[in-house]
Structure 1
Amino acid sequence: MNQSVSPVSTLKETINQQIGVAKPQLIGKPIIVLTWEVLLSVPLAIALTKLHFGGISWIFGGIAAGTAILQCCRIFYQHSPRPNRMARKVGMALVGLTVGATNANSDLTSLGAGIPIFIVLTLFLLLCGGFIGYIYSRLSNTNLLTAMLATVPGGVGVMSAIAADYDKNVTLVAMVQAIRVTSVVLLIPFIARTAVGNDWNLPTLSVNSGWLNFDLSQLELLALALPITALIVYVVAIFKIPAGDFFGALLLGLTFNSVLGWLPFVSEINFNPPQLINIIGQTLLGITIGEYWGEKPTFSKRAIGYALMSVVMTLITGAIATILAMQLTSWDWLTCLLVTAPGGAAEMILVALALDHNVEIVTTGHLVRLIAINSSLPLWLFLFRHLDSQSSLEV
């Protein structure tokens, strides 16, 4: 005999279901999650600054905040927000703009003779990354394309997006890339700090130090530069240009003064973005790195062990590339280390900026690497897919 269900009970059940679904959705809204991450990162970064962690404190604070907030969402609300790719794009663009403006008066053309060396170092890192990916694939029984995307130093967001496009294991790619980037971001500053002592470009909260710049002309230039930067991020998002937000904003910062100087009604200008713009960019970069850790995907100990093994091999490759750069150039070892470090371009340039150590060389080296990776990406993908299909046929 069928029992009738009362309309009141049905309505009550529906409301309970809606409340149960709406609560984590509300908590997991990207803007709310990002707001909490930023609010938490500020006191953490200030504390690290007080502990003399130096100009890279803001990215460290962001990493800790991104990890903590996503863990809280996962544990207390049973909801795991996805890493905020747009926040990383904005962070990359802001860092690119400030780094470019900082180097606007530098003579980067004098480094043109060293471009072949930069290309050799980039090819060495890419070839070693492919070889490491092949070893990682064989040992962990992972398909070759996934392993290559996980080990080639191309950035967490870029390689994860490519893995999603080809229906590969996005979580595994993101985990290996995140371990590598985080290891480099954490290790390199400490190595550099040990080498140069406490001679860091320490950020302060004093308005007089340039953390905030209330000069009317600078505010007007900033009001012009930010919408152009936003347009760059928008175009990059439409055309899915790898690392284009950082690269485009950096070029904007490098050429902003000279382009405006060509206008007949504009006198000589010197655009210098306030330190706050760089701090916001660093914080967003750190938050998005931390978010990949906050996801905490379920992997076996064996899978994590193989991932760590591939990262260690990548770091060793970076050390070998540093030695190679020292043999090919007259740069000091710290400059060679920053140029060849298998981390994100934005993060490594930030370290050089914080140390005020040959920023022009480090910027040029990573720009060449970005251009080489982006221009050769279709060829690498074709090669990876071909090798992947060949290995599948053998099985």
Structure 2
Amino acid sequence: MVSEHASPLATVGGADSGGQNVHVAALSLALAASGHEITVYTRRESPLQPERVAFAPGVTVVHVPAGPAVVLPKDDLLAWMPDFSRWLALSWGAAPPDIAHSHFWMSGLATLAAARDTGVPVVHTFHALGTVKRRHQGSADTSPRERVDTEALIARQVDTVIATCADEVAELRRMRLPDHATRVVPCGVDVDVFTPAGPRTDLGPGPILLAVGRAVPRKGVETTIRALRHVPDATLVVAGGGPGEPELDRLARIAGMYGVADRVRFVGRVAREDVPALMRSADVVVSVPWYEPFGIVPLEAMACGVPVVASAVGGHLDTVTPGVTGLLIPPRKAAVLGRALRELLADPFLLTSYGTAAADRARSHYDWNRVAAQTAAVYGDVLASYGRALSMTGTCPGTGAA
């Protein structure tokens, strides 16, 4: 695994740490549990970080020296990818892996450069596409200007693109990538941790709406705050971000402007292990970003047996079944969101039935073991095209790639 900015060891919830960190960590652990040896390469961000860290049985995290050993915004890392790729090529020249799975576009760039020198097959997951980000953020997009063209190049040069949802396949099709070059494997959820049964957090009297995510405008919390005017008596709990973050200050001002400040609570960054209890304490989890490459928050809420109201974008279109596990609404439509929340909270039977169906769907379709088996099957198909087989340290039931 190559994940230049998103380490599986990082604390989720920072400016550049979120779903990709969770994805790389959980996928690596599930693959290792089924018999594979996984090495995750990520950039060294501190001189105190050892080169190699045993993350779990079968999973090693390697900190690659590329650029200064300090935390840098991911949009500033492009200049250091040649150093990253040279280090990979040197390492793989001595002991090449069976296959490399790169995550995010800069990792793809570094991985392809290293693979050219070592003959390692490459599959790639974008996690987010620059074309989508630019479309929605416009001049606020801080990505390097090379991103969009480079992503198109990566998509054509890797052996397979693993897309996380059908909407991403449609975006790749617009980039003229043929469907046969992509495989859809969704993100997953830990159904042993995110469960309907378990402790809850005391969030006070209900009804409770919960928004979880990084404190950035595109996550759509402003829409939920504005919608609160149409949902009498409900309290919105906002989890994510830390003290002094500009977006939280902006959201607090908006709550005041719309007269709902007394019904909005900012609880800041929540430790990963405390998220399930927080979700189980909500009546509804609201996730209404402007756009979303996949969206792990709705999936985790579903696994906890909590109904979801989500924007009809990206992976939400695959994970949330409208009228069964929750509701989908257009992004940035506060009045529509408010009406949907008001009607849902007024129907206890519907809340219960949505929650039950949501937990069933999460467990049957998105268990990380299932996702890992699907991913290993893609690896096996790629290696078969090279006349190779996927190495195993044990048995791997159900992957078809032993």
Please give the range of the TM-score, normalised by the shorter of the 2 chains.
Answer: under 0.3
- Report the TM-score, using the length of structure 2 for normalisation: 0.23
Structure with greater helix share of residues: 1
Structure with greater strand share of residues: 2
Q: Which has the larger radius of gyration?
A: 1
- Report the TM-score, using the length of structure 1 for normalisation: 0.24
